[in-house]
Structure 1
Amino acid sequence: MAAINGRIPDGAREITTGQANRVWHINDPVPYVLKHYSDPARAANEAAALALLAQHQAPAPKLLGADPGARPAWTAQSAVHAEPVTTGRLLHELAIPLAAAHRIPGTYAGRLAGARRHRTWRDYLHNRLDTYTAAAPDLTPAAAALRRELDATDTDTEPRLLHHDLQPGHLVRLPSGRTLLLDWELAAFGDPLSDLARLAVRLDLPDPMDVLHLAHQPDPAAARRIRLYWRIHQFADAALSTDPAVRPRDRARLS
């Protein structure tokens, strides 16, 4: 087996599905997946997340190599021979792998690598609202309303590992029946309810309470927090989404 160095070997098969990165399946004696990133910070973050998940024996691909400083930045991950879990089964089969991730504690809030660490989860969310408002200044009044609600909500929870990009296609089932979560480049430490709120947005659910059953030991304030995070994630899509259907939809919801 040739050394993994981030270069695309002869015979590699491109399996790119997203908009930001390019991905190849390498059919070596030990097959692996090579991922090139347009944003080096995401490469660093995914490498850190996969290393942490392996340390805790959580269900995710194995990190075989990484170089966030290369051009392009890259990671190599174990090839997963699996089928995506259908949207209809997602909310049922997500519970076990998600709980495994949400049991992993953090000592700060925010991305694992390649970004600023935050003392509290509230600080991180304020920073995200700054980013979204800078990208869409016309949404400043909506951001101000979210900031007021954020400051009035108790978000003092122990940071836990979040996938933060839950959607159909990121949960796969192995022939053994075991499920794995893929694509950890947006992983962060924070409130697990934010993961569920993001999922509700990705599935275009009318109410984030429809995914609250996935929460591990929800507290009495969970309903208020998940609704707040749901609106923040909708705001993010309204400000940043490149999907021609998603951005106007969430802008209409904000108004």
Structure 2
Amino acid sequence: MARTDGHVPDGATEITTGQANRLWYIGGREPYVLKHYSDPARAANEAAALTLLTDHHSPVPRLLDADMEGRPAWTAQSAVQAQPVPADQFLDDLADPLAAVHAIGGTHFGRLAGATRHPTWRAYLHDRLNLYTATAPDFAAAAAALRRDLDRVNLDIKPRLLHHDLQPGHLVRTTDGLRLLLDWELAVFGGPMSDRARLAVRLRLPSPQALPAHRATPADRQRLDLYWRLHCLADATLATDPEIRAHALFSLLAHPGRALRPADRD
């Protein structure tokens, strides 16, 4: 790959699909993908995640270069010749690569880089609730209910790597059948069940219990439901897409144990 300075070279093809960042495919003898980030912390986190995954021989794009101080912050990643896994095969194809990811341990809870490290999973989740309340004070009642529920469940776990943005399009399959997870900027160390809950939100399932599960205990189902509510609250307070925010609010309103804004109560 020719040395990159984060600028978009002539002939680059934009392949942006989301709202927060911009991506370009740069061809040549050693093609690569250039990614510009709206938040430098996300760039640092994705770079750290790709480095960790490569160290564990996981099938992910290689981090070729990066600059967190750039304006904007950017990474250059090896180009992957692959296609998104079809929706009807997504859950089956996700199982093995996700299990491999969850087998990777960490030394703390929370983002890998660019953010506060937490000594416990509970502390990290409480910190997220603080962010949601600060961003959208009208949801303080919902956050308070989740805080109470967090303190009632056993969250004493060892930190494991989570993708934390699972959705169709982020899992691709190469021509030789290799499956890769893309877009690691939201990766955290935490409880693997949180990945399942976030996936249920992204798939717009009525409940996380709709996902296939094996040997789930009542305690597992309780934690899964708790994480699902947390991710719905995150979308209701932080999502920039109005449709995503509206769906998250609807999901919280439909939840049997809802506790939302005073204006939402009868």
TM-score for both structures, normalised by structure 2:
0.92
Count of residues in correspondence between the two structures: 253
Aligned pairs (5 A) from 1:110-189: 110-189=110-189
Aligned equivalents of 1:4, 1:241: Cα separation in 2 = 32
Structure 2 spans left out of the alignment, 5+ residues: 254-266
Aligned-pair identity (%): 63
Contact 1:83 1:174 in 2 (8 A): yes
Q: Are 2:239 and 1:231 aligned?
A: no
Whichever residue aligns with residue 232 of structure 1, its letter is L
Aligned equivalents of 1:26, 1:221: Cα separation in 2 = 48
Alignment match, 1:221: 219
Provide the secondary structure at the position in 1 that maps to 2:65. Answer: strand
Whichever residue aligns with residue 93 of structure 1, its letter is D
Alignment match, 1:68: 68
Provide the secondary structure at the position in 1 that maps to 2:147. Answer: helix
User: Residues 62-93 of structure 1: CA distance to partner in whole angstroms, max 9, x if unpaired?
Assistant: 11111111111000111011110122111110
Aligned equivalents of 1:7, 1:65: Cα separation in 2 = 12
1:218 to partner: Cα distance: 5.7
1:18 to partner: Cα distance: 0.7
Aligned pairs (5 A) from 1:11-30: 11-30=11-30
Aligned equivalents of 2:204, 2:87: Cα separation in 1 = 12
Contact 1:196 1:212 in 2 (8 A): no
Contact 2:37 2:43 in 1 (8 A): yes
1:152 to partner: Cα distance: 0.5
User: Residues 22-64 of structure 1: CA distance to partner in whole angstroms, max 9, x if unpaired?
Assistant: 1000102110000000100000000000000000011211111
Contact 1:59 1:100 in 2 (8 A): no
Contact 1:126 1:147 in 2 (8 A): yes
Aligned equivalents of 1:76, 1:112: Cα separation in 2 = 19
Contact 2:33 2:77 in 1 (8 A): yes
1:108 to partner: Cα distance: 0.7
User: Residues 168-215 of structure 1: CA distance to partner in whole angstroms, max 9, x if unpaired?
Assistant: 1000000001100000000000000000100000001112123352x8
Single out whichever of 114-123 and 86-95 deviates more from structure 2. 86-95
Provide the secondary structure at the position in 2 that maps to 1:221. Answer: helix
Aligned equivalents of 1:249, 1:32: Cα separation in 2 = 35
Alignment match, 1:243: 241
Provide the secondary structure at the position in 1 that maps to 2:28. Answer: coil
Structure 1 spans left out of the alignment, 5+ residues: none
TM-score for both structures, normalised by structure 1:
0.96
Provide the secondary structure at the position in 2 that maps to 1:245. Answer: helix
